[in-house]
Structure 1
Amino acid sequence: MAEQRRDTRDERDAGEDSQGSPEVRGRGVPDDDVARAWDELVATARRTVADGLVVGTSGNVSVRVGDTVLVTPTGVPYDRLTPADATGVDLSGRQVLGTLRPTSELPMHLAIHRTTDARAVVHTHAVHATAVSTLVSELPLIHYMSAALGGPVRVAPYATYGTPELAENMLRALTERTGCLLQNHGTITYGSTLSEAYDRTAQLEWMSHVWLKASAIPGHTPTLLTPTQLEEAAHRLQSYGQRR
């Protein structure tokens, strides 16, 4: 009987209705908003695998809905995630949705959500970006898209994954930036939407790839942009794209 009572409590804590849809009770967040956000989070996580930015479950994704941060659960292949697996915490890290344990990199995600206007965070182990993180303390200005991340992309000093120390190193590297490299580890970016955070990750990996390719040519040194050229690009990027 004790086991049966615990299972019932777990289901209640998970916030699942009879259709298996995630709920966040008492937090001012409509259930359908959470369900849509979870679906988008899962799609983004699967995209990191499809695009080769992570292997297996090595990356993680989060999105904020009200005061709840939905996150990928630790150690679960993304293609197995369903609406009933929705996992969420509050800004203190207390689990408020689901029974699966949140990502081991929760300290990094929460540090960003607590200190910036981020609504979404994407962390990957992208190959080229991770390689760059072992070589330099800052990604050289190989392309003007560095401006889309706020300026030269810094490398956060190494610390063990999932630790407060790593989160602190990351926050320093993210000062006035929307993305950084994590030494001997990978990338992390944030944005106002999952699409924006993901696009910044993809751009960071692409720039890292370009720099590594250019640096590998014997007898040649890549031409880099000057701070002034980057500033000019940043100004033009402010009006890039369609206006609504």
Structure 2
Amino acid sequence: MIRKIGLLSVLCFTMIAIGCSNGINTTLSNKPVSIMEKENPPEEFVPITLNVVGIGDSLTKGVGDNMDEGGYLGRVSELLKQNDTIKDINLTNYGVKGHKTTNLLKKLEEEEVASSLKEADLIFMTIGGNDIMNVVKQNILSLDFKPFREEQINYVRNFNEIVDTIRSYNPDVKIVYSGLYNPFKFLLPELTEIDNIVSEWNLSSSEILANDSNSLYVPVEDIFANATDNKLLDKEDEFHPNGIGYSLMADRIYEALTEEQDDLLEKSDE
């Protein structure tokens, strides 16, 4: 008797299940189907490729880098690649050993350079050290403040024109300028006046860039300021940074960039 009741229960349950199943199928067949399109992820989550351009003198060129890692520019590029929003770096380096501000102005007129600057997302620049060196060479026997102050007028004019030229090519690109350090700190330690000259020229550069809404001045003078810091210079010329010196510059530049990461680490809208 119990087995019959149990079997009857199973049959009833099965019939009910089949009935329900038929009902569900009928309902589903008459229900309109809606396919929702997925929204694209926010732009900040999509890895981008940055166009990075270096202009200026031997520091941007990477002269003295005994580790052969591209000077500060190569190292900053590698640091940028570690950011999750950056997929890759297209790096173009127009740094030239010995270039002064006058040389850079002519360089900016070249069609290839102008084209690269127009497409750039970040521009790194070093310039001015050879302008100071030129004054030293011409007045080595009677150095005083006067020739440096006279040349500073030319330097400020040229620096302004450099920034204006870049802006004429690319109004929105970020310009990152690394300031001057005293290249004669250990080579000619008796010329203590140059410390003051370098500081004055750096002040002029920083003031010019402060008037440009999308420029960044990065001071590096203090990195090479102490007597023990001669170990940060190339052994052959005691003028250019060595690999360690360039690494410290790159760290300083990258830190300055990340402080403004909301604007700097996202590619400009095309």
Q: TM-score, normalised by structure 2?
A: 0.25
Q: TM-score, normalised by structure 1?
A: 0.26
Flag the structure with more relative contact order, 1 or 2, with Cα contacts below 8 A and sequence separation at least 6: 2
More helix by share: 2
